[in-house]
Structure 1
Amino acid sequence: MADPLAQIVALLQPGAPFSKCVTGSGPWRVRRTQSPNPYYVAVLKGSLRYRDHQLGEIIVNAGDFILIPFAQDFMMWSEAPSRESDMVINPVILPGGGYRVGRIDGPADMRALVGYCIFQSDDAALLSSLLPQMVVVRGEYRLAMVMQLLGEEALGNKPAREVVLQHLLEVLLIEALRSTAEPGQSPGLLRGLCDDRLAGAIRAMHAAPGRSWSVAILAREAAMSRSGFHARFQSVVGIAPMEYLTAWRLALAKNLLRKRDASVAEIARQVGYSSASAFSVAFQRETGMPPVRYAREAVAAAATDEAAQYEGAIA
């Protein structure tokens, strides 16, 4: 059977281009009113508190990792009791490039890597919406090893430090996304994959997106009644089963169109449409342009990016 999470992570093209090491001592508070991209916190030493209006308050300890796909108006503060007067407006920039909050002198009692993730796929908004409101990973052995490497790299000053940090953060992100032990209560794909009934239907859709699926057939995959399956899928994943299937089919189609390895008719067949015309209608309704134009513009954009990278390399 297909691995839906692996497929979605591959299409998301995750990266972590911006990160910073933050150390803290004593009382401190940091507030952010807007995070344009998914925000992560990897605590390497000590602990901190996180709170937003939707999720409430959680304690993040050393070895813990949190990912907030849609972070808006959140606050983090020290384990030590703090007041509004301890709010940090401009953190102190350290000689090595890190940031310091709270007391400037004395040893740090908290160290964390914080930053933004990006999803480079055209379907980033759609696919990341299938994640829960927050991913919290605690006590995962594999994740702990990556965290240890991150901590050592963040504290060191070896050549290519930023490149190594970025790749380690990408691995950390993927490990966190596939650690579904605590998927949270908000709807999303992780929660659906943890549901014994729904997981089979989701994997079946991903294994054979070109099959003529219906709610009734998917319900049989889940060993449920049609109405019960539809209601449970909507509640757990956050969208209706056929809506999820359509979104996944079009995400696959966009990826195939960007590769230019198959005709529109062949792509239509692969992703479950009876004809190229039916696929074109659905694709244009979703993207605002026909498949051929999408493929042409995607190739042109990729060529522009490649040229820019080449110019940067030889500058």
Structure 2
Amino acid sequence: MDALSDVLSLLKLRSYVSGGFDAGGDWAISFGPHDGIKFHAVVTGSCWISVEGEPPVQVNAGECFLLPRGRPFQIASNLSVEPVHVSQVLPPKQSGGIVTYNGGGDYLSIGGYFTLSEGQSELLLNVLPPLLHIRDRPGSATLNWCVERMRQELLEGQPGDFIVAQQLATIVLVQALRLYLSDRTTEETGWLAALTDKRLRAAIAAMHGAPGQRWTLQALASEAGMSRTAFSVTFKERAGLSPMEYLTRWRMMQAADRLTSTRQSLAEIGSALGYESEKSFSTAFKRVMHCSPRQYGRRQGGAGATGLSFAPEMEGSPSLL
């Protein structure tokens, strides 16, 4: 797999298409903080999205936005309209389908959310801005097709529609991240930004493919086709940490996953990830994860076998939007 697929798989990404919102006239809706990543895809009309601490952005038909940081937000047809809370708009037991507000007809969007493994979610969320606005442009045809297909699934109510919509939502996220990466500037840092450089991408793929290998800086530079010095400097500039720091962090993400999804001993996990002893593995794990492997395993085990949270709204409001 490629590096982005590796990370999304490690995060145990789960997608949920909650439903559609068909509004008419002037309207504004507010949302509280949420877990995971929310997304809205505008099918017809346009809206303003205002995320706490960020300037408002207008989103038009054929575009979508993602909210990775969980901040409170508002969507509106007009920024001067006083917002009502989402709980006042949606039926309390609503699940799926399309909700009509103010008579509908002027604006239609499809909404949903993605949950991530709690222990490692910051691996993706911390390198994304509070609001990702994916504009309609060449290259977004796949995203638009998926959104239209989701709309049809919600309207038709065919057997298996939940599974189809769930898979389409995952494609929407991946395509949105691809479009986001294609627009990135060289000033931005993080492993996601590093993937825009095909040389660094090759080195990252090598680390992901064989995390237990005794990698050296020279060996990773060779994977990238660069000199040792140029590779080290470029990687640090783009990823925000050194190649060996990235390798250690990736190993600990792998270890965290194995601690909660396998019955391997600490010695077995450490050996598979390139550590000569259980002690050296435990020391590295505690340095990165801020707790011992055993503490992490117990903590995640107490939250459930997968360590996942399926609550899209922290304050308990409906999740259709």
If the length of structure 1 is used for normalisation, what is the TM-score?
0.76
Q: Select the residue among 80, 87, 95 that pairs with 2:83.
A: 87
How has the CA–CA distance of structure 1 residues 160 and 203 changed in structure 2, closer, same or farther, with 3 Å as cutoff?
A: closer
Unmatched runs of 5 consecutive residues or more in structure 1: 306-315
Determine if contact 1:44/1:112 at 8 Å carries over to the other structure. yes
Q: Select the residue among 228, 235, 238 that pairs with 1:236.
A: 238
How has the CA–CA distance of structure 1 residues 50 and 118 changed in structure 2, closer, same or farther, with 3 Å as cutoff?
A: same
Looking at structure 1, the residues matched to 50 and 182 of structure 2 have their Cα atoms a distance apart, in angstroms, of: 18
Determine if contact 1:180/1:194 at 8 Å carries over to the other structure. no
How many residues matched?
A: 298
Quote the offset at 1:278 in angstroms. 0.3
Quote the offset at 1:279 in angstroms. 0.4
Cα shift readout 1:77-130 (whole Å, capped 9, x = no counterpart): 32xxx35234334554479864445xx23x512111223321035211234324
Alignment of 1:84-163 (within 5 A): 84-89=80-85, 92-93=89-90, 98-101=98-101, 104-105=102-103, 107-131=104-128, 133-137=130-134, 138=136, 139-158=139-158, 161-162=161-162
How has the CA–CA distance of structure 1 residues 267 and 170 changed in structure 2, closer, same or farther, with 3 Å as cutoff?
A: same
**Structure 1 partner of 2:267:** 265
How has the CA–CA distance of structure 1 residues 232 and 73 changed in structure 2, closer, same or farther, with 3 Å as cutoff?
A: farther
How has the CA–CA distance of structure 1 residues 197 and 128 changed in structure 2, closer, same or farther, with 3 Å as cutoff?
A: same
Aligned CA RMSD, in angstroms, stands at 3.5
Alignment of 1:71-82 (within 5 A): 71-78=70-77, 82=78
**Structure 1 partner of 2:209:** 207
Greater RCO structure (CA 8 Å; 6+ sep)? 2
Sequence identity percentage: 32
Looking at structure 2, the residues matched to 157 and 44 of structure 1 have their Cα atoms a distance apart, in angstroms, of: 18
**Structure 1 partner of 2:9:** 10
Determine if contact 1:34/1:72 at 8 Å carries over to the other structure. yes
Quote the offset at 1:141 in angstroms. 3.0
Unmatched runs of 5 consecutive residues or more in structure 2: 308-321
Determine if contact 2:217/2:228 at 8 Å carries over to the other structure. yes
How has the CA–CA distance of structure 1 residues 212 and 304 changed in structure 2, closer, same or farther, with 3 Å as cutoff?
A: closer
Looking at structure 2, the residues matched to 85 and 298 of structure 1 have their Cα atoms a distance apart, in angstroms, of: 43
If the length of structure 2 is used for normalisation, what is the TM-score?
0.75
**Structure 2 partner of 1:309:** none
How has the CA–CA distance of structure 1 residues 75 and 132 changed in structure 2, closer, same or farther, with 3 Å as cutoff?
A: same
1:281 aligned partner, one-letter code: T
**Structure 1 partner of 2:46:** 47
Structure number having the greater helix percentage: 1
How has the CA–CA distance of structure 1 residues 190 and 135 changed in structure 2, closer, same or farther, with 3 Å as cutoff?
A: farther
Quote the offset at 1:8 in angstroms. 0.7
2:84 aligned partner, one-letter code: V
Cα shift readout 1:187-239 (whole Å, capped 9, x = no counterpart): 33332111233222212221221233344543444345555544443443344
1:84 partner SS: coil
Quote the offset at 1:300 in angstroms. 7.3
How has the CA–CA distance of structure 1 residues 100 and 189 changed in structure 2, closer, same or farther, with 3 Å as cutoff?
A: farther
